Structure 1
Amino acid sequence: MIVAQSILAQEPQVKIERAGDNVTAKLAGHWTAEYAALVESLAVEIEAEAGQHHVIVDLRQVERLDTLGAWVLDRTRHELGAHGASADFANASPEQQILLDEVAYRGFHAPEKVKSSKIVDFLVDVGKVVTGAGRDLIDGVAFLGELVSALLRVTIRLRRFRGTAVVNQLEQIAYRGVPIIVLISFLVGCIIAQQGIFQLQRFGATPFVVDLTGILILRELGVLLTSIMVAGRSGSAFTAEIGSMKMREEIDALRVMGLDPMEVLIIPRILALVIGLPLLTFIAAIAALSGGGITSWFYGDISPDVFLSRLRAAVGMNTFMVGMIKAPFMALVIGIIATIEGLAVAGSAESLGRHVTSSVVKAIFMVIVLDGLFAMFFAAIRY
């Protein structure tokens, strides 16, 4: 019984008293979000009883008042004024008065609904995507300029070069990434050879699967698969590491200590990428060709000796160099995108997750675009 009475005492209450042209609404209890429905109904009751009279809202017996209660009371005051009446608050504690003043200052106004069509909204979204892409391109070029200037500073003063950090990043990017890249490349090589054999045997051209596998892997798939895997594995790690340091203000601490974050954090990572990605590309190509050779042996009755001899005849040094030339440029693009997204992280875990996802998506997209541009360039110079 005591508990029930206590709960009833906490519920918001209002007592309406009339004295001439004035109406006094004496509030009591807890005017909080816990009793939101009752607070709303009592506010409607105050409006109904007020009419065209002046209303004094007495807060002397209000035990608790939160933002919802203050907003409902302030809204009631405005609605009474709109209907020709007026209202004032009385006997509010200093804390309650501060909350009422803040609510009145901020103003909770519903945003106006702008009429638009789905076609217009779609075009607006397309425009935002295009402008965002242009902004990202400009930011990337500006960041590349900062990176080149930092590299020149480090080159002039070699004692500022952090070789230990580069070796550590090489271990993380290249050495620890070998198993997964070898496995995936080997399986892709097997799939290419198997599908090539099944399609070419219709025309009695099964041996040409060696030419197909060798050229496709060395020119395109070796570097492309490696870059995509590095973007998903190391690029996301760069963004997460730099982003978490940005969240904990460690990058600002480096600047306070007189250290350049570009030299300490970014140059070692990008240099390790530029060195490690060509090595991983070479290993991936060897693994894929091994998978293609084994599959050709089992499915196409092409012995390893025949496979190697045909591969030597079909593949020239230019075919091998095409894939190797692409690798450093793709590594540079992955590194720039990953570090830019990491430095753009704000102070929340949601922002970190959003930028890590954006880093991987943008890096993979740009790797594919760059591969297409290189393909057109090498075709134009007949290399």
Structure 2
Amino acid sequence: MSGLAQYELQQGDGGASVLALSGPYLVSTVGAVDAELRALEGPIAKVDLSGLSEIDTVGAWIACSLATEHEAEIVGASDRATRLISALDGTRGEEEIAAPRLPVWERVPAAMGEKVFGARRGVIGVIGFLGALIAATGTLIRHPRRFRWLALVRQLELVGVSALPIVGLMSFLIGIVIAQQGAVQLAQFGAETLTVNLVGRITLRELGVLMTAIMVAGRSGSAFAAQLGTMKLTEEVDAMRTIGIAPMEALVIPRILAAVLMMPLLGFYASGVAIIGGAVIGDVMLGIPFWTFLARIQDVVPIYDLWVGLIKAPVFGLIVALAGCYHGMQVEGNSEQVGLRTTMAVVSAIFAVIVIDAFFAVFFTEIGWG
């Protein structure tokens, strides 16, 4: 038993007990008696360390804790124990260790103020980014040979061609859902044939372009932010500046142009596939032949619905690309910023697209294209 930490309560003068510790009080041995020592009650006048064979910092901490808890005196300490106890003296405090927390009526306005101030910095940053983009565009107009056509073609492939499968599948399913749900509701009024009007107008005018913009934001906008952010983090952007290549001209403008050029094509493609999805449901559920459904689209959908979608598409592409490139170029510090900025790029792009779409809806209604 000599290799285990032990203790004994001895009767001292005046009825107070003396806690005698014995054996090795090391981190590897005190676990057997730690719980029992913490549970000791009653007045303890002294903590006797004369019986200790070995002691380390953990053992000294236990002795100090017992002495502090019972307001006891430490006696019989060896030179090593005395040095350890002296080093630990004053490290035990009773102060509140939790961080101070303001009441909710102060905390919420403070958080809102921080958000507003952060938005102010963000607005200034976006304005500066737009200024740099306009300056770089002006430089390319004056010196068209500096434009990187291969980079543009590559981005056109990534933003447009590579997105066709996922955009097509999403649009096809959306067309099916619109037609099925619309037919169920219109059947209550005996107007199932108006499903053609519903599918045609809502896909060409709104959902085709809007859902495509959201898909491009999640796919290409996040890719722009992650790519540029990683290049900033690995100092590739700084290296480009060092060798005389403008990052705006080489990295940002091709991506923005690709998004602006491909969004009208993707939006029109998405609307067409959604109409095909609606025609499939019309043939299966409503008894409207597939080709008759498609032919009816030309009769019931005014041509300005198509122009509404095509006008909104490049604006949405510009917003998505600007958000992705801006947040990507703001990455600095560590790799966590890449994920943070990528998330911010997608969220801000989708939010801005929906807000701008609402303004477009009001505008086109006011000019008679409602």
Instruction: Give the TM interval when normalised to the shorter protein.
Output: 0.7 to 0.9
Tell me, what secondary structure is at the counterpart of 2:365?
Answer: helix
Match of 1:150 in 2: 136
Tell me, what secondary structure is at the counterpart of 2:219?
Answer: helix
- Letter matched to residue 188 of structure 1: I
Match of 1:308 in 2: 294
Of residues 359, 363, 377, the one that matches 2:345 is 359
Of residues 218, 241, 249, the one that matches 1:232 is 218
Are residue 293 (structure 1) and residue 297 (structure 2) matched?
no
Distance 1:361 1:77, change over 3 A: same
| Cα separation, 1, equivalents of 2:159 and 2:60 | 60
Are residue 258 (structure 1) and residue 258 (structure 2) matched?
no
Which of 122-131 and 336-345 deviates more? Answer: 122-131
| Cα separation, 2, equivalents of 1:39 and 1:376 | 76
| Cα separation, 2, equivalents of 1:254 and 1:9 | 62
Match of 1:174 in 2: 160
Match of 1:284 in 2: 270
Distance 1:49 1:205, change over 3 A: closer
The alpha carbon displacement at 1:112 in A equals 6.6
| Cα separation, 2, equivalents of 1:210 and 1:249 | 54
- Overall identity of the aligned pairs, in %: 38
How many residues align structurally? 318
RMSD value over aligned CA atoms? 3.4
Distance 1:134 1:204, change over 3 A: farther
* Unaligned runs of at least 5 residues, structure 2: 5-23, 29-53
- Letter matched to residue 342 of structure 2: V
Of residues 296, 314, 317, the one that matches 1:328 is 314
Match of 1:83 in 2: none
Are residue 128 (structure 1) and residue 121 (structure 2) matched?
no
Of residues 117, 128, 151, the one that matches 1:165 is 151
Of residues 154, 176, 184, the one that matches 1:190 is 176
| Cα separation, 2, equivalents of 1:130 and 1:296 | 50
Are residue 113 (structure 1) and residue 100 (structure 2) matched?
yes
The alpha carbon displacement at 1:305 in A equals 4.0
| Cα separation, 2, equivalents of 1:349 and 1:307 | 52
| Cα separation, 2, equivalents of 1:368 and 1:187 | 21
The alpha carbon displacement at 1:135 in A equals 3.4
TM-score normalized by structure 2?
Answer: 0.75
> Deviations for 1:183-229, whole angstroms, at most 9, x for unmatched residues?
11011001101111111112111111111111100110001110000
Match of 2:195 in 1: 209
Distance 1:137 1:210, change over 3 A: farther
> Deviations for 1:90-114, whole angstroms, at most 9, x for unmatched residues?
xxxxxxxxxxxxxxxxxxx979725
- Letter matched to residue 215 of structure 1: R
* Unaligned runs of at least 5 residues, structure 1: 13-27, 52-56, 63-68, 81-108
| Cα separation, 2, equivalents of 1:163 and 1:249 | 24
The alpha carbon displacement at 1:269 in A equals 0.8
